[in-house]
Amino acid sequence: MSLNTHQLIKQDGTARLGNYTTLHGIFETPNFMPVGTKASVKGVDVQRLSEIGTQITLVNTYHLWLRPGPELIEQFGGIHKFCGWSGPILSDSGGFQIYSLKAIRKLEEEGVTFKSHLDGKVLFLSPEKAIQIQEAYGVDVAMVLDECPDATLSWQKISDSLDRTLRWSERCLAARRKQTAIFGITQGALYPDLRQKSAEVLAAQNFDGLAIGGLSVGETTDQMYEVLSYHVDHLPKNKIRYLMGVGTPQDITEAVYRGIDLFDCVMPTRSGRFGRAFVSGDQPYINVKNSQYATLDQAIDPNCDCFACRTYSLAYVHHLFKVDEMLGPQLLSIHNLRYYLKLMENIRAAIKADTYDKFHQEEQSRWKNFRLTKS
């Protein structure tokens, strides 16, 4: 199979089973990427990542640009050698920081000027620079530089923003110098006509995959699901589909049902750092800091095969949190990532067995009274 291609193996309804080929290996789809913002998944080393079934990870272009810088990473032979992860790596472009760091950036047609939150240094990021930096990292998949606007803005402002993103996307493709895959990103907020326009323009260009951006950034869950109900159909069937920044287990199972192939979110590790553990059974998560677990001699989740569940009791993990030992958040992060990756394994098995509709209904029912948000 040729490099940077998505092979669609089968469909169960609109849920899709496939794989994507990169220079550093193949990852199956649907799949979830643990987020390693600064070339490190918080509290989880690469050996544990491999043990729990990770096939692809994500790094943050902006934060690595500030420290340690693309020059050093390139000097070490690329991001894979620098961080010790040998599998596929996808990098964002810095586009989300245009949204999240509004107070310290200035947006123009040529690109965006940031004032570093670390030392106040002025930095300029253009579409060409974003691709140059990601190619210096040596990632397998680079994202285009896009603007992620606030979903509450008017149609005209969203339209103007989208047009800039589409111009930037074309510039990103023109800047490619290596075999790095480049994914385009659709925008358009909650406006169906702009979402369709975004997808049609990007589909006509030579991207290796397409992502849906501008969701999970403050809109309601119902609004996100509404966009997915029509927007996925705008995307080419032969390209991988990546829903950026999503999400909760409930959101993932719903999005796969709609035809999405790839996900990322900080929720598994962020939740783990604060004591939340995702578990099987009728109650989909628990807080291990609660007093009811202080003397409980059982695994975090008896049905889980991760290192934390094989080795330690809930009472011990509860103790670690109570005495502020950093091992507690580490163990829960490992466990939660395993929960997510096992969820993806179960999703792929259900699609393969033509039972995804049943699986989706059961998962949605299980989460019905336990709504989570990204934060």
Return the active site residues.
92, 264
Given a contact cutoff of 8 angstroms between Cβ atoms, the answer to whether 154 and 177 are in contact is no
Given a contact cutoff of 8 angstroms between Cβ atoms, the answer to whether 148 and 187 are in contact is yes
On the 0-12 / 13-18 / 19+ scale of CB atoms within 10 A, 263 is buried
Three-state secondary structure readout of the chain: CCCCEEEEEEEECCEEEEEEEECCEEEEECEEECECCCCCCCCCCHHHHHHCCCCCEEECHHHHHHCCCHHHHHHCCCHHHHHCCCCCEEECCCHHHHHHCHHHEEECCCCEEEECCCCCCEEEECHHHHHHHHHHHCCCEEECCCCCCCCCCCHHHHHHHHHHHHHHHHHHHHHCCCCCEEEEEECCCCCHHHHHHHHHHHHCCCCCEEEECCCCCCCCHHHHHHHHHHHHHHCCCCCEEEECCCCCHHHHHHHHHHCCCEEECCHHHHHHHCCEEECCCCCCEEECCCHHHCCCCCCCCCCCCCHHHHHCCHHHHHHHHHCCCCHHHHHHHHHHHHHHHHHHHHHHHHHHCCCHHHHHHHHHHHCCCCCCCCC
Q: Which amino acid is at 278?
A: F
Residue 162: name the closest of 183, 184, 188, 185 by CA. 188
